[in-house]
């Protein structure tokens, strides 16, 4: 299986949050883990926000960003189609980066023939849009 992670799911690999165990298991079970190239700065920003809010100690923040940066090359990093992302933003009422993730996942899905692809996000509006684009959305147990 191929697993597409948006940023909300990607962060759960590095920070213990609700459903982190689910995402970690899905990643473990996946043959390929994919995400959009915008997920790198989004994830770094999310980690920094957690540090700034006092949810992460300085040493932990440094370790997480270092680990994430080193592991980035293990992900299948997918580009996106900007006009398609714009169309999806309007069609589904999505925020810009959510539309970019959906566009990226759509590009990946279009290249797969019989390999199943699963979409993971913890944003319900984005999940509804992904289902509307005929993607299988992962659900935590």
Report CA-CA distances (Å) from 15 to 19, 65, 115, 120: 10, 11, 29, 16
pLDDT one-digit tens code per residue, 24-80: 999 999 999 999 999 999 999 999 999 999 999 999 999 999 999 999 999 999 999
Whether 119 and 4 have beta carbons less than 8 Å apart is answered as: yes
CA nearest neighbour of 126 among 103, 3, 10, 29? 103
| Domain 2-137, CATH | 3.40.50.1010
What's the pLDDT at 141?
Answer: 78
Handedness of CA 72, 75, 80, 84 (dihedral sign): negative
pLDDT at residue number 26: 98
CA 138, CA 122: separation in Å to the nearest integer?
Answer: 9
Supply the mean pLDDT for the chain: 97
The pLDDT value given to residue 80: 97
Give SS3 for 105. helix
Which pLDDT does position 56 carry in this prediction? 97
Q: What is the pTM of this model?
A: 0.96
Whole-number pLDDT of residue 110:
94
Rounded to whole angstroms, the Cα distance separating 79 from 103 reads: 9
The confidence band for 121, taking pLDDT boundaries of 50, 70 and 90, is very high
The dihedral sign for the CA sequence 101, 120, 71, 63: positive
The pLDDT tens digits for 72-120 are: 999 999 999 999 999 999 999 999 999 999 999 999 999 998 899 999 9
């Amino acid at each position: 299986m191929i697993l597409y992670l948006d940023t909300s799911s990607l962060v759960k690999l590095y920070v213990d949050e609700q459903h982190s165990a689910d995402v970690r298991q899905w990643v473990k079970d996946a043959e390929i883990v994919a995400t959009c190239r915008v997920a790198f700065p989004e994830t770094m920003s999310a980690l920094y926000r957690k540090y700034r809010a006092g949810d992460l100690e300085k040493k932990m923040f440094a370790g997480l960003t270092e680990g994430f940066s080193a592991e980035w090359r293990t992900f299948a990093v997918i580009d996106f189609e900007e006009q398609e992302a714009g169309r999806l933003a309007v069609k589904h009422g999505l925020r810009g980066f959510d539309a970019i993730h959906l566009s990226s996942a759509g590009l990946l899905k279009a290249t797969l023939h019989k390999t199943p692809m699963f979409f993971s996000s913890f944003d319900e509006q984005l999940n509804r849009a992904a289902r509307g684009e005929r993607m299988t959305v992962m659900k935590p147990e």
